[in-house]
Amino acid sequence: MRRRDFIALVGGAVAAWPLAASAQQATRVYRPGFLTPTAGPTAEHMALHAGLADLGYREGQSLLIERRYSAGNDRLSAMAAELVRANVDVIVTESTPAAVAARQVTSTVPIVMATAGDPVATGLAVSLARPGGNVTGNRVITSDIASKKVQLVHELKPDARRLGHVGDKDVVPDQIAFREVQSATERLGMEATFFNVPFFHADVPDTFERAFAAMVATKVDVAFVAEFTTYLEDRDQIVALAARYRLPAVYGRRAFAEAGGLLSYGTNFTEKFRAAASFVDKILKGTNPADLSIEQPTKLDLVINLKTAKALGLTVPPGLLISADEVIE
């Protein structure tokens, strides 16, 4: 080979190398894991995918998502271990139990909480500002949500004296929420009683039926239903029970009011799933989760189902209607 041809060949290879390296980098495939107690994909999960797409990630091209659904059964720890063995780059979790399960099996794989209660109280983070470990993401319940719900009930049904809280006594964020409910009801001359329905209740028959029957038997005036993801999948049954027993019920997720529930007040979970995509993006680009502040809700949604209120014989005060983000008629 002549010297001039050799130089041209080498020069062309050197010039092409950055382009080849750039193309290889652009087509890198990331493997996030997704861990949830639900039985399958939900509309909120789609918000996570939309958020990732907005940031330039495409499933099947730059993403291969490993999904694990426990379908309301206590299999989250085993599924989290599966994700770790699959060498995922990050684990996105839905619910506090899912985040706790993931943290129990790994202290190195980054964990992004799409939704969780109090990560500090549950030992998932040192603080909200600087989590300090491998867990970051969204906190969806703040300390004033429960007390605000009690105030809303007082406005909607001033004669209510007994409140029934439907939740799981073994879930730490729900323990905290119930203490807030007790404090708020005491200030208003009311009392609160806990009615236990396990977070993992898929294999426990008639749990909600028994809880609502017990509330009616003990003359509860209004019910609170916890924000659990596993409860969300039973929302049609829960709303139907509240209607059958003519028991005003307050929820923490908009989907309950849309399904016929009286009132919902709480975090916009769809927005939090979309926000989780930003955490995933930063971690995939090299940011340490210990340095990513956990985000708290900045806006809480109030949704009132006016049709249900009328069916229960309740008159919604004009001020409450004005302050609602949405009124379903």
Write down the pLDDT at residue 158.
95
Structural element, H or E, at residue 90: strand 90-94
Q: Is there a contact between 303 and 254 (Cβ–Cβ < 8 Å)?
A: yes
Q: What is the torsional sign of CA 166, 171, 263, 159?
A: positive
Domains in the chain, CATH or no CATH each: 28-140+269-291 (3.40.50.2300), 145-268+300-328 (3.40.50.2300)
Q: Is there a contact between 262 and 316 (Cβ–Cβ < 8 Å)?
A: no
Two tokens at 144?
């004033």
C-alpha torsion angle, residues 42, 44, 47, 48 (rounded to 10): -90
DSSP calls for 12-57: HHHHHHHHHHHHHHHT--B-EEEEESSSS--HHHHHHHHHHHHTT-
Write down the pLDDT at residue 12.
47
Backbone φ and ψ of 180, nearest 5°? -65, -40
- Distance (Å, whole) CA 279 – CA 285: 10
3-state SS assignment for residue 289: helix
Q: What is the pTM of this model?
A: 0.89
Helix H segments across the chain? 3-26, 43-54, 76-85, 96-105, 145-156, 172-187, 207-217, 229-232, 235-244, 254-258, 269-284, 306-311, 318-323
Classify residue 120 by its DSSP letter: T
pLDDT tens track, the chain, 329 positions: 444 443 444 444 444 444 444 444 457 999 999 999 999 999 999 999 999 999 999 999 999 999 999 999 999 999 999 999 999 999 999 999 999 999 999 999 999 999 999 999 999 999 999 999 999 999 998 767 999 999 999 999 999 999 999 999 999 999 999 999 999 999 999 999 999 999 999 988 899 999 999 999 999 999 999 999 999 999 999 999 999 999 999 999 999 999 999 999 999 999 999 999 999 999 999 999 999 999 999 889 999 999 999 999 999 999 999 999 999 99
Two tokens at 206?
């008639």
Write down the pLDDT at residue 143.
66
Write down the pLDDT at residue 23.
43
DSSP calls for 207-227: HHHHHHHHHHHTT-SEEEE--
Write down the pLDDT at residue 15.
44
- Distance (Å, whole) CA 305 – CA 251: 12
* Residues in contact with 183: Cβ distance below 8 Å, sequence separation at least 6, in sequence order: 147
- Distance (Å, whole) CA 167 – CA 194: 7
221 CB neighbour count, 10 Å cutoff: 16
DSSP calls for 142-158: -TTHHHHHHHHHHHH-T
